[in-house]
């Protein structure tokens, strides 16, 4: 690997492989390739491997593998690492009903960007988003990067209840809430995309390296798909 990578100690049985210092879509080819090869070289000695925007955390079985051996395996991967063609990842089309009743920050994001609500929707749906990492809740994928004009800080006071299927943005990230939960993202709309159901079966729909394209649909289409139209309260 030509770029300088760092291996950092996280715990007695965990190492952090830091490939980058900044978030960028071009990182994903390297992250996906490292994820695949690290899983292969650690095999049954691996407890967990967590890829993220710029890093991969390797949690290994310290009863089977010493720190030096784990470090050697990581260095072995990094020595010849080449990026994966991310176009080979899965692409998901996610239907979203964008409306202030279920996306109360749609108006706020539009006002902040100085554009109409319809243009917020167009820009949010104008590109594929890479899934950078999974976390927070089962099936929850951190995706990006949204159009710069739409970048909006998290809510100062998170909501206690965000409806399942809510689609939101925070800074230049976007995500779908898989289930009813607290949250501080700016909610634009709602989808019936069944993230939580698949995660429970151990078959997450979204994986790091996948791409997601949001597709706007009408209220009628959303209802026909079984969508819940219960309004979401505006942020305080």
* Domains annotated on the chain, with CATH: 6-87 (3.30.1360.40), 89-224 (2.40.100.10)
Q: Which pLDDT score is estimated for 204?
A: 80
Q: In angstroms, how far apart are the furthest CA atoms of the chain?
A: 59
Mean pLDDT of 173-184: 94
Q: Give the pLDDT of residue 208.
A: 87
Local confidence band at 136 (pLDDT 50, 70, 90 cut-offs): confident
d(CA 38, CA 32): 10
The model's confidence at residue 233, banded by pLDDT at 50, 70 and 90, is: confident
Closest by CA to 191, choosing from 203, 171, 206, is: 206
What is the rounded CA–CA span in Å between residue 231 and residue 206? 26
Looking at residue 197, its pLDDT comes to 74
- Give DSSP secondary structure letters for the chain: --S--EEEEEETTEEEEE--SS--GGGHHHHHHHHHHHHHHHGGGEEEEEE-SSEEEEEE-TTT--HHHHHHHHHHHHHT-----GGGS-EEEEEEEE-TTT-TTHHHHHHHHTS-HHHHHHHHTSS-EEEEEE-SSTT-EEEE---GGG-BPPPSS-EEEE-TTEEEEEBTEEEE--SSEEE-SEEEEE----HHHHHHTT--S--TT-EEEEEE--HHHHHHTT------PPP-
| Percent of the chain topping pLDDT 70 | 96
Res 199: pLDDT: 63
pLDDT digits (tens, 9 = 90+) for 12-63: 999 999 999 988 888 888 999 999 999 999 999 999 998 988 999 999 999 9
Whether 202 has a pLDDT exceeding 80, the answer reads no
């Amino acid at each position: 690997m030509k770029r300088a990578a760092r291996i950092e100690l996280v715990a007695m049985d965990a190492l952090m492989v830091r490939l980058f210092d900044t978030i960028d879509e071009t990182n994903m080819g390297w992250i996906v390739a490292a994820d695949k090869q690290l899983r292969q070289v650690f095999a049954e000695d691996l407890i967990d491997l967590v890829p993220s925007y710029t890093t991969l955390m390797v949690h290994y079985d310290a009863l089977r593998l010493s720190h030096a051996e784990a470090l050697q395996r990581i260095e072995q991967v990094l020595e010849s690492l080449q990026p994966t063609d991310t176009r080979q990842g899965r692409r998901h089309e996610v239907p979203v009903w964008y409306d202030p009743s279920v996306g109360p920050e749609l108006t706020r994001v539009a006002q902040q960007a100085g554009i109409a609500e319809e243009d917020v929707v167009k820009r949010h749906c104008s590109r594929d988003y890479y899934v950078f990492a999974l976390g927070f809740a089962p099936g929850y994928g951190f995706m990006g990067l949204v159009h710069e004009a739409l970048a909006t800080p998290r809510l100062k006071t998170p909501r206690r209840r965000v409806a399942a299927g809510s689609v939101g943005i925070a800074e230049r990230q976007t995500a779908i809430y898989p289930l009813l939960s607290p949250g501080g993202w700016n909610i634009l709309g709602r989808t019936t995309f069944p993230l939580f159901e698949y995660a429970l079966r151990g078959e997450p729909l979204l994986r790091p390296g996948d791409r997601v394209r949001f597709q706007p649909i009408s209220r009628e289409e959303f209802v026909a798909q079984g969508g819940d139209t219960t309004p979401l309260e505006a942020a305080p």
